[in-house]
Amino acid sequence: MAKNNPINLSDLRAYARMLTDASIGITDLAEALHQRIVHPPFLPSTPVQHLITKVSALGYKGVRLGAKSIGGGLDKALALLPSGLDKEASSEKREALLATLNGVLGDYLEEKENPLAIKMSFRKEGKEIPLDTESLKKAYKKNNGKVLLMVHGSCMNDLQWKQEEYNHGSVLAEEFGLIPIYLHYNSGRHISTNGQELSLLMEKLQELWPGKIKEWHILAHSMGGLVSRSAVYYAQKEKKSWIKSLKKIIFLGSPHHGAPLEKAGNFVDLILEATPYAKPFARLGKIRSAGVTDLRYGNLLEEDWQGIDRFENRRDNRVPVPLPEKINCYAIAAIKGKEKPNSISRLVGDGMVPLKSALGQHRSKKKQLIFKEENTHVVYNTNHLQLLNAPEVLDRLRLWMA
């Protein structure tokens, strides 16, 4: 892949807009903290205190207007630079940076129509595949109609399936005569939003594919497994044609019932909200994306988050979504420690996803995912990222694909 500059002119303009929004956000935080100090909790305020608040509000308003003015001027100035400086930057570093940024702030980027927001697409070798029959013919000259869809995880991209010059997708495609297609998506959006769009995109590919797609196989890492399950749910609900050709879904470290890091983030929010003078800082914890908060329990559907404050400390009220019938589903979980793990090792799991969550186990029978015993596997001395290149994982993938 070409090693170009990691940031281009369009990126600079997009980052400048983010900086403007951040400046305004910090000003809002400072004003909220100022008000907390001037008006102590649980005490009545005097006329002088109210006057101080009104005067300071004018100052904060001026700071916001100044930030917007400077930001707008910078954007216009960058727009006047020579177009030759705006060459497409396609380095792996830039791709990784954008993937992380989208994972953390993807919903904000999309809402603000920021150019840094990733648009969902199918890609090959890091380049988008135009969805028309002629382009598909050129991209996949060897076409037997058997597709292996690779769905990456949170804060990652399609290029990161390649770890230390190794890629599960390339090996499986070569050995089993499959056509590897890589999904690229904004992991900061709601999982249900990505799931619905993925289903529509797969339907479109099914219709435009030269010849016919005879088989779909999905290999999904981390959040990618939840996006895939969501896509299957909506495809079945809307009776999409591609779902009839789906044969296998293999999950690698997917947090079917959530991840501790997001639960910890929600706990911090709760503590800050409950502390009067620290309450303004709770806003900082609410910067994290919709995709991240969906990982608290593993939300798959719109019903799991619509009409609810996603930062609220609440119980797991997801609509149960069982594994799809007539589709072979497999799960690989990892533990960073040695065999015969204790309860702490099981909770830590691969460092990101607990063992039970990766295997779909839940104390509620309604939420429990019923994998066949022979369709699950646990690897040891392996972390979340190492699932992408561990030899033992490949051995199991070969067994299941065969």
Distance CA(210)–CA(206), nearest Å, equals 9
CB 388, CB 352: distance < 8 Å = no
Does the 121-258+319-401 domain belong in CATH 3.40.50.1820?
yes
- For 269, other C-beta atoms within 10 Å of its C-beta total 21
**pLDDT attached to residue 60:** 47
**Pick from 108, 318, 285: which is nearest to 192 by CA?**
318
Query: CA–CA separation, 381 vs 220, rounded Å?
Result: 21
Tokens, residue 76: 């216009």
CB 158 within 8 A of CB 183: yes
Residue pLDDT tens, the chain, 402 long:
444 555 565 665 565 565 666 555 555 555 565 565 555 666 677 777 667 666 666 664 655 565 555 555 545 554 554 554 444 545 888 888 889 889 988 898 899 888 889 999 999 999 999 999 999 999 999 899 999 999 999 999 999 999 999 999 999 999 999 999 999 999 999 999 999 999 999 999 999 999 999 999 999 999 999 999 999 999 999 999 999 999 999 999 999 999 887 766 555 555 545 555 445 445 555 667 899 999 999 999 999 999 988 877 778 999 999 999 999 999 999 999 887 777 777 778 999 999 999 999 999 999 999 999 999 999 999 999 999 999 999 999 999 999
Two tokens, residue 210? 């030269």
State the greatest distance between any 2 C-alpha atoms of the chain, in Å, as a whole number: 79
CB 316 within 8 A of CB 297: yes
Rounded Cα distance between 188 and 166, Å, is 27
Q: What is the spatial distance between Cα 201 and Cα 147, in angstroms, rounded to a whole number?
A: 14
124 - beta bridge partners?
A: 127
- Confidence (pTM): 0.79
* Secondary structure E strands in 111-155: 121-124, 127-128, 146-151
Residue 247 contacts residue 327 (beta carbons within 8 Å): yes
Q: Which of 223, 222, 203, 221 is nearest to 213 (CA)?
A: 203
- For residue 328, the model assigns a pLDDT of 98
- The structure tokens 């690897």 sit at 379
Phi first, then psi: give them for residue 343, nearest 5 degrees.
-65, -35
Percent of the chain past pLDDT 70, that is, above it, reads 72
What residue ranges in 197-291 does DSSP mark as E strands? 215-221, 246-252
pLDDT of residue 62: 59
